[in-house]
Amino acid sequence: MKILLLSSVYPRFEADQEVPWLRASVLFLKNAGCEIAVAAPSHRGLKSHEIDGVKVHRFRYAPAKLEFLTHDEGAPSKMAKNPLLQLLAIPYIIIGSFFTLKICLKFKPQIIHVHWPFPHGFMAFFAKIFYKAPIILNFYGAELLLMRKKKWIKPFLKFFIKHANQVIAISGFTAKRVEEIYPRKIEILPYGTTFLNSCAAEENPKGEVYRILFVGRHIERKGLEYLIKAAAMLNSDKFQVRIAGTGDLTEKLKELAEKEAPKQVLFLGKLPKEELAKEYQNANCFVLPAIVDSKGDTEGLGVVLIEAAEYGVPVIASDVGGIPDIVIDRKTGLLVPEKNSEAMAAAIKELSENEALQKFLVLGAIEHIKQHFEWDAIIKRQVELYNAELR
């Protein structure tokens, strides 16, 4: 079965950590017998190349120095900072549409799988005029946020949803928002861990300091300021918050940490996969303090919670977005209200003092992941959706 995957972002080189879950899903699809080609925009003049034996066809939409609309940070965020970047969307869509058709005529896919349906729905449906192939849309939430800010986008998304052969959302939260645009059956297919080898720790180390780990981009919707404020409420000799990753807010968060909790918070920077694995293995708990940010954006799912659970680390997270698909309060983790540092600190203290609760939550999380978030089951269902369109 030949699948053309249409996306705004895909790893640019072997060590690139962009969309690791999408890269993982492609590897699993390959193992399931699918032949995959990727169509994605160039980044600063990047030419077509191969990643993991998969051909990544890159289309040029501007001079190299201007080809930064995608990758490293979402296009909507970049456009919000610099509205002139919206002008790049015009050649991006036009050139991308003709490029998608060109790849279809050359690769001859049986399915066009569109990730982030706006604006990539334009490209897929343009190609379908000349190359008849079923279209599957995959929603993550960014396009829905953009629609709330740009009302003119809604009619286009409604058309794409109505006329697509299949529509997928990564969580129940995202699926409901898609159904509000156009009521139809939405398949919920999350993504699994980005660590391709499951490596849960046998026992978390019991040291004098209770290690609290966060992994992710330092952006508003991650809610890191509330974790730092929670850290200030914890005993500096017994608790340490370890923050991995980088982002636009890193320097401001460091200033906040220096002011609120200089002894409790440590910034680790962007870690390679091997060092990140060690952080998970040495963590006593994992916290995702996500919020609904000032733009209305929030977590579509929270794959880091799956990764933490696979390492045998109990999790604490905010009750927002798609997080409750993973964290069922007091069964697979602890849920706290968003933007509530006091509740977060209380949850951390409770977990640190109750070893039985830690073990119970980890066992519950692992069982829940096996039932709903293992790649084998996800890919099996995805292939079933593909096959249903080819009968």
Kindly write down the DSSP assignment for every residue of 125-163, as one continuous string. HHHHHHS---EEEEE-SHHHHHHHH-TTHHHHHHHHHHH
pLDDT at 295: 81
Residue range 13-55, pLDDT digits in tens: 998 988 989 999 999 999 999 999 999 999 999 999 999 999 9
Measured N-to-C along each axis, helices 224-231 and 341-353 cross at an angle, to the nearest 10 degrees, of: 60
Mean pLDDT for the chain overall? 93
Residue 204: inside a domain: no
pLDDT at 259: 96
Residue 242: inside a domain: yes
Q: Domain span at residue 296?
A: 210-372
Three-state secondary structure call for residue 193: coil
Residues 223, 162 share a domain? no
Residues 176, 322 share a domain? no
Residues 168, 20 share a domain? yes
pLDDT at 198: 46
Q: Which of these, 71, 17, 20, 18, lies nearest to 44 by C-alpha position?
A: 71
Mean of the pLDDT values across residues 90-117? 98
Residue 199: inside a domain: no
Mean of the pLDDT values across residues 244-266? 96
Mean of the pLDDT values across residues 108-132? 97
The CA distances from residue 220 to 77, 78, 190, 339, in Å, are 11, 14, 23, 11
Residue range 72-94, pLDDT digits in tens: 877 777 877 788 888 999 999 99
Residue 218: inside a domain: yes
Residue 79: inside a domain: yes
% of the chain exceeding 70 in pLDDT: 96
Residues 55, 188 share a domain? yes
Residue range 336-378, pLDDT digits in tens: 999 999 999 999 999 999 999 999 999 999 999 999 999 999 9
Q: Which of these, 305, 278, 303, 302, lies nearest to 201 by C-alpha position?
A: 278
Residue 306: inside a domain: yes
pLDDT at 196: 45
pLDDT at 85: 86
Residue 205: inside a domain: no
Residue 201: inside a domain: no
pLDDT at 146: 82
Mean of the pLDDT values across residues 2-6? 98
Residues 224, 133 share a domain? no
CATH code of the domain containing 355: 3.40.50.2000
Residues 179, 140 share a domain? yes
Residues 184, 82 share a domain? yes
pLDDT at 63: 97
pLDDT at 77: 73
Q: Which of these, 126, 154, 155, 121, lies nearest to 138 by C-alpha position?
A: 121
The overall pTM is greater than 0.85: yes
Residues 359, 292 share a domain? yes
d(CA 159, CA 170): 20
pLDDT at 194: 66
> In the block, which residue shows the tokens 């040029």?
60
- The band of 207, judged by pLDDT with boundaries at 50, 70 and 90, is low
Residues 34, 113 share a domain? yes
Asked if 94 and 102 count as a contact pair (C-beta separation under 8 A), the reply is no
What counts of helices (H) and strands (E) characterise the chain?
14, 14
Among 65-74, 102-111, 231-240, name the one with the lowest average pLDDT: 65-74
Q: Which of these, 133, 145, 130, lies nearest to 5 by C-alpha position?
A: 133
The CA distances from residue 94 to 103, 108, 156, 237, in Å, are 15, 21, 15, 58
Residues 216, 164 share a domain? no
Residue range 257-281, pLDDT digits in tens: 999 999 999 999 999 889 999 999 9
Residues 379, 296 share a domain? no
pLDDT at 200: 47
On the question of pLDDT at 323 being above 90, the answer is yes
pLDDT at 195: 58
Chain-centroid distance of CA 190 in Å reads 10
Residues 97, 44 share a domain? yes
User: How many domains in the chain?
Assistant: 2
More confident residue, 85 or 327: 327
Three-state secondary structure call for residue 51: strand
Q: Which of these, 370, 384, 372, lies nearest to 33 by C-alpha position?
A: 384
Residue range 281-302, pLDDT digits in tens: 999 999 999 999 988 889 989 9
